[in-house]
Structure 1
Amino acid sequence: MTLFVAVALLAAVVTWLMSLGTLRFALARGIHPPVRERDVHAKPTPRLGGVAMFAGVVAALTAGAFIPQFQAAYAEPHKIVALLCATGFIVTVGVLDDLLDLDWMLKLGAQLVAAGVIAFFVVRITSTPNPFGGIAVGSSQMSIVLTVVTIVLVMNAVNFIDGLDALVAGTTIIGSAAFFAYIWIISRSLGQAEAYFSTASVITAVVVGACVGFLPLNWHKAKMFMGDAGALMVGLLTATAAISVTGQIDLTVLGGRSQILPAFIPVLLPFAILALPLLDFVLAVLRRLLNGQSPFAADRKHLHHRLLDMGHTHLGAVLIFYSWTIVVSVGCLLFLFLDEWVAAGIIALGFLVCAVLTALPVSRRVWHSARRLARLRAAERRARSRRQSKVEAGERR
């Protein structure tokens, strides 16, 4: 565990130092795109944070190659090289998009290329876990297609929610920390250190470190954004780490546990962590297609925009996302330790609390409106009473 923390810390320090340098460079050269209609920030802000995060990822993954305890993850060095090449490519495309606003078809093509590199040279989904043993995906072609589609889906889901300060960085830290905990628990329970455990653990630790290092400059009010470069990179690495375990592990090795839900944790946890980004992605695509638009056309109707429209502050909306992410990610882990009904009850309670917090501004408006209406009606009654009293007094005279 100490070595994983050290690698994450290296990624964080390099990212933070590079973020400071990148921010200074961007401000000195005026590299900050103008504020768009859908943006929620008021002044032009550099979007080159992804470059600094990539530097932290490269430094940490390179350092990991010299740690003997990580040898399982680096047993096939070409996979790490391919991962860095795919990541560097998608970061480059992301930077160009942030600066030049590339056509959506070009961006999608670049995402397919990066995901294809991962599927061909790094890892692919070969089976889907289930309580009774892994189910083979089928042909190698089907495995590649499923892997590419999954990675592209995750990249866009993460990119779609990158609209508020510290939103992607914070939710990634929370979700990836939960995923790392799951990997650690399972690998310790098996008493093994297979390559897919080690690879997923190293990548996840590096992603957490890069997000931690970038968070100080991205916290509200943000001095710099990670941009498409950072969001797509986080999505790519997160998906790769999830596939390294989800598509490889056979859960029958867990000792024949009779619980059904824990057996699905490898599938549920990555999607639970990305529940809100995936929901936002699906809703956005459906909304745009129904309106006759490109599925990648930008608008101001994402979930985080709706939270702001409901009355949440910028920071409040981000914390709402954090709370939902904590409930779904930690909730999945509870199935490894608690009875299924107890874990489900705790998750339900967490959902209820999050729902109340989410609806709080609306509830306040309804409450205030009801109070104003009650005051108006009371004033009307008093006015009618005064008029009636005057009429009665006149009649007596």
Structure 2
Amino acid sequence: MTQSFYWYDFETFGIRSRTDRPAQFAGMRTDMNLEPSPAAGEEAGEVFYAKPSEDYLPSPESCLLTGIVPQLCEERGMPESEFAGRIFERLNVPGTISIGYNTLGFDDEVCRFLFWRNFLDPYSHGWKDGCSRWDLFPLVCAVWALRGDGIRWPLWEELDPERFPQAAVRKGVCMKLECLTEANGITHGQAHEALSDVEATIGLARLIREKEPKLWDWALANRSKEQVRAALEKGPVVWVSPKIGVARGCTMLGGMLYANGNDVLMWDLREDPSVLRTLSREEIIERITTPQSKLPEGVTRLPVRKMKINASPFVCGALGVLSPDRAARYGIDRAAAVERYQALLEVRPLVEGILAECMEHGGGLEPVDVDAALYDGGFT
């Protein structure tokens, strides 16, 4: 079966991926060498608009950000059922790897709920007929954290606060797509215009593939949840994720503390997991589920983070991928981490029931509209 990438991006009328509606979609298929290769019935670069639903109110802030207003979508768009069908066809071409920049953090869920509302299989593009999903964003973070000397990395301190208001309060590397492309001379017509973002993402992917070919090939080959789970079950892993924080290199040597389906609680082996033996059930739950800002003075969160193994996290069981100098820079002692992993294995059975409660924390929400009920057991 011939594999291909289908690069895509949504512009939406809001930031809630489950309930806000898509305004614009753009996509481009490439071969595995990242050269344009449209399938039958496709164009080299495609843009679709969706007519706004009459029972939905777009976010004014989103319209200002993207420049896409409901009147434009009404003029150029198609009914949502047709819009969904066209996207579904493209992501379900056999052998398609659907991919974008932070797509598994937002756009893929927009897809799922779009398909759900229009009676299409919301999951088939992730498994059926050789189809699968990937996300360039975790790989970009990993390239910066582990390698990346041939790529220019913009810093928040160097950005214009008038253009990027977050630059007034943030420090360190900036992973915004438009900043990365500008720093590296990659054409990016207009940020927050879907086709421009797609073309820029492909350009960034080409740069990474050129500068770090081994890392590119490894990440592509090890993106599935089955491979991530296998690595976690074997021992400690290098996990690179922006949620770990730039100050720590977005990197941890971590061990699996608890798993429930695609959700895994990871322990950061910078810290000794034996502390769990000294805490009560209530203390463990509080220090995992409560934001730091809401904890009592002098109490810190436990070094536990949730990983979605079906979201192509960058997880590597070969600890040597993290060089000694970068480990030292990020405050990681590899020898100590390996020892702490043995302590983690010993304490894990003792807290399994408590951790199951942590995973359920926040459940029991009120019933939602059927349009957003994909994860609630289907139609009843």
TM range (shorter): under 0.3
The higher relative CO (CA closer than 8 Å, separation ≥ 6) is in: 1
How does the TM-score come out when normalised to structure 2?
Answer: 0.26
**Whose helix fraction is larger, Structure 1's or Structure 2's?**
1
How does the TM-score come out when normalised to structure 1?
Answer: 0.25
Return the index of the structure with the highest Cα Rg.
Answer: 1
